[in-house]
Structure 1
Amino acid sequence: MELNMNFAQWFLHASDKSENMYHTLMNQAVGLVADQTMRANQPFSGASRQEIEAAVKEMITIPAAGQKVDAVMEEIQNVIVRNSLWISHPSAMAHLHCPPLLPSIAAEVIINALNQSMDSWDQSPAATYVEAELIKLFTEHIGYSQEADGAFTSGGTQSNYMGVLLARNKACQTNFAVRVQEEGLPAEARKLRILCSEHAHFTVQKSAAQLGLGTNAVIKVATNDKNQFCVEDAKAKIEQLRQQGLLPFMVVATAGTTDFGSIDSLSDIAELAAKEQLWFHIDAAYGGALLFSHQYSGLIRDLHLADSITIDFHKLYYQTISCGAFFVKHKQDFQQISYYADYLNPEEDQEDGIINLVEKSVQTTKRFDALKLLMTFKLMGSDLFGEMVDYTINLAKETAKLLKNEACFEVLNEPELNAVLFRYLPSDHREDQSYVDEINLELQRSFYQSGELIMAKTKQAGKVYLKFTMLNPLNTIGNMKTHIEQMKRAGEKIEKEQGEVRYEYSVHY
């Protein structure tokens, strides 16, 4: 049967039509992004939710016949790209959402074209070894022995899930002589308990819920004045749990909390875990980049004490989404989730020395994300990468100082990583918490709607705070001085407007 050339131009293969279409689409995509980069003088267009929704609804069609490339790309640029959050802009500082490095963006083109499925070696021959060797390099940087291992994941949620999964299965085998893979959860599993700080990531509870333990299995431990896990409170809670006939089996430390960026005392928690025979997991999704820091690597020097570790590369490693990893101190712990299928990863492959990555993952089909990290370090080097990380942390510390110097701002944390929590304090009625909260909520809303400054809002002790997550190394202290002045003026304006509303209300009522 002859090759249908109507099909042929849409696939990568050896033909002029394929090559021409590939270049056309790639050039258009590159031009579109480059154009947006030059146009983006602020991180968001300022379009309303209603405007964006209406524009998207109008463009979403499935035509019977394909449209012209120029027309489609123009529509995507006008409707989608221009109304997206431009995360590469230095004034986009809301979440742990990084500006991607150019080597990572370039690697995505190769990853997508190769379309490797990272479950079995025969589907990803070179890619399998790239991931395996990068995992090995990272285990060495962490300080693990040769008995360690790991796997690339979609990010912190999946990695934390895997930590809870392995710990749960091992606890059931150790305490109840039950292999959960084969027999399911025993009735006694309802006694299992996990300890983590009150500032730990919500995925600890989410994982417990999905793994049949329930959110009630997660016990929140108090934090100290540095927003770190309090070991003394954990000791008291463990004793109380055991008196109730419950079984603590896991403790989760955080190296970089979402709001504060605080890093728990890893050595103290490791000592507690060893004494109480608990699985010790460290969620270093955020702070794992300190492995390459020149100034702050000491903050995670005890990472190697953990039984398992989460690191996200699409946070402070500046990789495109998605890209993360999960590490274990003892590679045999992956046997808690291994499964063999004759058509994919038969057991005899192990005897032949064949690596099938599906055996240490909760995913089957998995992207070749390791290439992004490889290209980044090969092109940039670890020294420059470490300088970038240090720069953003130092910038956050300097920004916190600027805010503290202003009487109208209250800073809640001394930045340990690059997150700054603060709030605007009005000149009057500071004792009225709902009034102060509403002013801060309006500050966040108004700047997002203008599109010029993207910051997050959160709550601590029931109070509304604003947050800068300062990941972008292209940000400057001059830029932050400008933003602080803008916030002061905007806060004063909102105060005046709120004061007029309060006066109107008191007059009428």
Structure 2
Amino acid sequence: MNLSGHPTDTVPAMETLRSAARAHLFNNGSVEHYRRVLADGIDRVATRVAGTDAPFTGVSPEELAPKVSGIDLDRPLGDSGAALDELQDVYLRDAVWFHHPRYLAHLNCPVVIPALLGEAVLSAVNSSLDTWDQSAGGTLIERRLIDWTAARIGLGPAADGVFTSGGTQSNLQAMLLAREEALTRMAESAGMPSDRHELLPRLRILASAAGHFSVQKSAKLLGLGADAVVTVETDADRRMRPEALAGELERCRHAGQVVMAVVATAGTTDFGSIDPLSSIAALCASAGVWLHVDAAYGCGLLVSPTRRHLLDGIERADSVTVDYHKSFFQPVSSSALLVRDGRVLRHATYHADYLNPARMVERRIPNQVDKSMQTTRRFDALKLWLTLRIMGPDAIGALFDEVVDRAADAWRILADDPRFEVVTRSQLSTVVFRYLPVDPARELADEANLFAREALAASGAAVVAGTRVDGRHHLKLTLLNPETTLDDVRQVVDLIAEHAGWYVQTRTAELSCPVG
């Protein structure tokens, strides 16, 4: 035995292992290894993308799961080339490629190369955007982008914000701030400290019936009741009705309930609808209620050269969610929460002696952890920074305008096609529709649309989304790729009709010829 308690004969083996492990650390002695390995990885991805002729292979979980579960993670391959070969088999070959023009499902955008450059840089440097002594210039870059976005929104000189992991986190933090502000006002109006547990059941959030489910999730996480989120009815275009909102505000007042926030949506996930922000803002101002605008999808309009007016009224919000990874063509994750009054971010502040003691604030040393629900946090802002510095905001806006134009054309194609029924025309880049069999097979519409979506994905030829509208199954095209052409749309529509028509024909034959 040696002094450390290990058998003597294991010491050389341990030193060999440690030496081999250190060779993988990124430092000034391994830069050539770093260059080679990353170049190989980039080449694998580039080769795969260059050879992609469909957005998906159609692989099923049953097919792929055994390959992944069969890998022994305790037995390393010891070579990056071998690991990339294996990765090709369990991931790259069957990955869903959002860059392909016939990926038309969810709010996943193709990404721009300047942002990929930012991703490579930020991952290698590995800054943590919580304190100055972990990020230095990264803190200032994020703050500059927050100021830039707040100015684009028009929130005013006191605005502030922070980058987040996505729209759900941004909405959660907005609701946290709104809750704390509401509780503070309630306590002040009572003239004495109040029991939070007694006040919480009185709080309500008013949100569009077409809004994002993260509002309900936020309410649950914040300790509010199941009935805390009150849905406000929408009009035929799936936009919140100001008259209905006014009625709910009045109803809550008479019931002794406190509306802690109204959540308006600038780009609903299904319909791309934008609530009448100016009218909603006026009602909130009159009632003294916090207005949050979920612009996770519609934030691309902030840089649109032709459609910025669709966001008129957003400048009156108390908080705004933006997802750059939806309509700014950024890699996941890249989102932010903006607030009109930066002082409200104090509700997310906690001073830890080891990290951000109060004395650092007194010395004016900037940090972002005082504003964030996260502690360790990636320098995701760098991706947007390099995109703006290389491409510029007008170029991003032009790309977003292009997909919105394409969606309008796709809506017309489907509206003119007797095989389909379309829902409201989107203000952004979604198209909700369904295949509609002719009588007497009309009752098979739900089943036919479900089948068509699954069959299309299984073929790998295209990927579309599905949703329910007024209790009926529908399909959805989400156009976020400027490379998608109307010919692509027509091909996908024809494939959907082919799959759905086959299902209707087969089921009709089965129903007309019952067994026995």
Q: TM-score, normalised by structure 2?
A: 0.94
1:350 pairs with one of 361, 384, 389: 361
Q: Which sits farther off after the overlay, 387-396 or 28-37?
A: 28-37
> 3-state DSSP class of the match of 1:315?
helix
Cα deviations across residues 382-422 of structure 1 (Å, max 9, x unaligned)? 22211101100000000010111110111102121000000
Kept in 2: contact 1:306–1:329 (CA 8 A):
yes
Letter in 2 for 1:67: G
Contiguous gaps of at least 5 residues in structure 1:
none
Match of 2:436 among 425, 435, 445: 425
The answer on whether the counterparts of 1:56 and 1:80 sit within 8 Å (CA) in structure 2 is no
Paired AA for residue 202 in structure 2: K
Q: Contact (CA 8 Å) 2:436, 2:442: kept in 1 or not?
A: no
For residue 322 of structure 1, what is the amino acid of its counterpart? Answer: S
What SS class does the counterpart of residue 94 from structure 2 fall into?
A: coil
Equivalent runs, 1:40-59 vs 2, <5 Å: 40-59=52-71
The answer for the alignment partner of 2:28 in structure 1 is 14
Alignment partners' CA distance in 2, 1:196 and 1:158: 17
Q: State the match for 1:330 in structure 2.
A: 341
Amino acid at match of 2:312: R
1:449 and 2:463 aligned: no
Structural mapping, 1:59-458, within 5 Å: 59-63=71-75, 66-177=77-188, 185-429=196-440, 431-432=442-443, 435-458=444-467
CA–CA separation in structure 1 for the residues paired with 2:214 and 2:342: 23
Residues 3-38 of structure 1 show CA distances to partners (whole Å, capped at 9, x for unaligned) of: 9642332111222xx123212320121011011102
Structure 1 counterpart of 2:233, one-letter code: A
Structure 2 unaligned residues grouped into runs of 5+: 1-14
Question: Matches of 1:368 and 1:146 in 2, distance apart?
Answer: 24
Partner of 2:3: none
Q: Deviations over 1:434-462 (max 9, x none)?
A: x1100000000000000111001100110
Residue 332 of structure 2 aligns to which amino acid in structure 1?
I
Alignment partners' CA distance in 2, 1:487 and 1:249: 44
Contact kept in structure 2, 1:172 and 1:178, CA below 8 Å:
no
Q: Which residue, out of 21, 37, 49, partners 2:49?
A: 37
Q: Which residue of 493, 504, 508 corresponds with 2:513? A: 504
Q: Deviations over 1:30-84 (max 9, x none)?
A: 0110111022100111122210111211235221x54322221101012211112
The residue identity in structure 2 corresponding to 1:192 is L
Output the amino acid matched with 1:10.
H
Answer yes or no: is the 8 Å Cα contact 1:249–1:277 preserved in 2: no
Asked whether the 8 Å contact 2:182–2:260 carries over to 1, the reply is yes
Give the residue type in structure 2 aligned to 1:26.
Answer: L
1:225-274 CA distance string (max 9 Å, x none): 11101111122222222222222221000000000000000000000101
Q: Is the 8 A contact 1:118 1:366 kept in 2?
A: yes
- 2:236–2:424 contact (8 Å) kept in structure 1: no
Aligned residues of 1:178 and 1:186 also touching (Cα < 8 A): no
Cα pair 2:441 2:508 within 8 Å, conserved: no
SS of equivalent residue, structure 2 residue 513: helix
Structure 1 Cα separation of the partners of residues 218 and 140 of structure 2: 30
What is the Cα deviation at residue 344 of structure 1? 1.0
% identical equivalent positions: 36
Looking at structure 1, the residues matched to 216 and 17 of structure 2 have their Cα atoms a distance apart, in angstroms, of 53
- Whether 2:488 is the aligned partner of 1:474: answer no
3-state SS in 2 of match to 1:491: helix
**CA separation of 1:60 and 1:450: change in aligned 2, threshold 3 A:** farther
Contact 2:453 2:496 in 1 (8 A): no
User: In structure 2, what is the Cα distance between the partners aligned to 1:188 and 1:10?
Assistant: 54
CA, structure 1 residues 430+242, in 2 after alignment: closer, same or farther (shift >3 Å)? Answer: farther
How many angstroms does 1:504 deviate by?
A: 2.5
Q: Secondary structure at the match of 1:321?
A: coil
Find 1:462's aligned residue among 452, 457, 471. Answer: 471
Structure 1 window deviating more from structure 2 (159-168 vs 476-485): it is 476-485
Within 2, Cα distance between the matches of 1:332 and 1:376?
30
**Which of 11, 30, 38 is the aligned partner of 1:26?**
38
Count of aligned residue pairs for this structure pair: 500
Pick one of 486, 491, 506 that aligns with 2:500.
491
**For 1:297-324, what per-residue CA distance to the aligned partner results, in whole angstroms no more than 9, with x for missing partners?**
1001221100000000110111111110
1:499 Cα deviation (Å)? 1.5
Between the aligned partners of 2:194 and 2:36, the Cα distance in structure 1 is 55
Normalising by structure 1, report the TM-score. Answer: 0.95
Bigger Cα displacement from structure 2, 272-281 vs 20-29: 20-29
Q: Distance in 2 between matches of 1:183 and 1:193?
A: 18
CA RMSD of aligned residues (A): 1.9
Instruction: Report the Cα offset of residue 502 of structure 1.
Output: 1.4
Greater shift, 200-209 or 170-179, is seen at 170-179
Letter of the 2:64 counterpart: I
